[in-house]
């Protein structure tokens, strides 16, 4: 079952201006070390940050809170699987909120997709509850 859906659109040029103006202070406030390492290894640094910014916004919406109610930017982070697929991780208050909204007997799975087409970066997040007993064979 779907627990939450969120989407966000970020302007890459706006993120570039923020990076130019606030630099390390902005990066350290919003992005985890893993996210910063990923961005610094990419040709399009601002685009990489913009996609992760959009993912955090989308995740907070899927959690049903937006970026209010105590969620920290760093409570949500994006890494990548070896083949490049983005993976959303939640900690802190975001994890508490996720646990709270997940029905008993289910585990939450966060699906995340990112894309960009300059000057826009976009993210979609879907939070799914999967039954933990679905694949268990019952005696007949």
Residue 119, domain member (yes or no): yes
115, part of any domain: yes
Is 52 within the bounds of a domain? yes
Asked if residue 11 is part of any domain, the answer here is yes
pLDDT for res 66:
74
Q: Is residue 91 part of a domain?
A: yes
Q: What is the pTM of this model?
A: 0.90
Query: Residue 22 is part of a domain; what is its CATH number?
Result: 3.90.470.20
Q: What is the model's pLDDT at position 134?
A: 60
pLDDT of amino acid 26: 97
Does a structural domain hold residue 139? no
Q: Which residues of the chain have pLDDT under 70?
A: 68-70, 134-140
What gap in Å lies between CA 109 and CA 127, rounded to an integer?
6
| Number of folded domains that form the chain | 1
**Residue 140, in any domain of the structure:** no
Residue range(s) defining the domain that contains residue 48: 2-131
Greatest Cα pair distance in the chain: 66
Q: What is the pLDDT of residues 32-49, one digit of tens each?
A: 999 999 999 999 999 999
Provide the b/e sequence for 61-98 (b: ≥16 CB within 10 Å): bbbebebeeebebbbbbbeeeeeeebebbbeebbbebb
Angle of helix 33-40 versus helix 45-62 axis, rounded to 10: 150
Residue 137 lies in a domain: no
């Amino acid at each position: 079952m779907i627990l939450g859906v969120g989407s966000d659109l970020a302007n890459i040029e706006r993120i570039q201006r923020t990076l130019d103006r606030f630099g390390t202070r902005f990066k350290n406030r919003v992005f985890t070390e893993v996210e910063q390492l990923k961005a610094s290894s990419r040709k399009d640094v601002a685009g990489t940050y913009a996609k992760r910014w959009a993912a955090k916004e989308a995740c907070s919406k899927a959690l049903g809170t937006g970026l209010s109610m105590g969620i920290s930017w760093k409570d949500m982070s994006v890494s990548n699987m070896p083949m490049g697929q983005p993976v959303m991780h939640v900690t802190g208050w975001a994890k508490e909120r996720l646990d709270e909204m997940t029905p008993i007997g289910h585990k939450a799975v966060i699906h995340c997709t990112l894309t960009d087409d300059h000057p826009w970066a976009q993210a979609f997040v879907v939070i799914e509850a999967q039954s933990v007993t679905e694949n268990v064979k019952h005696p007949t």
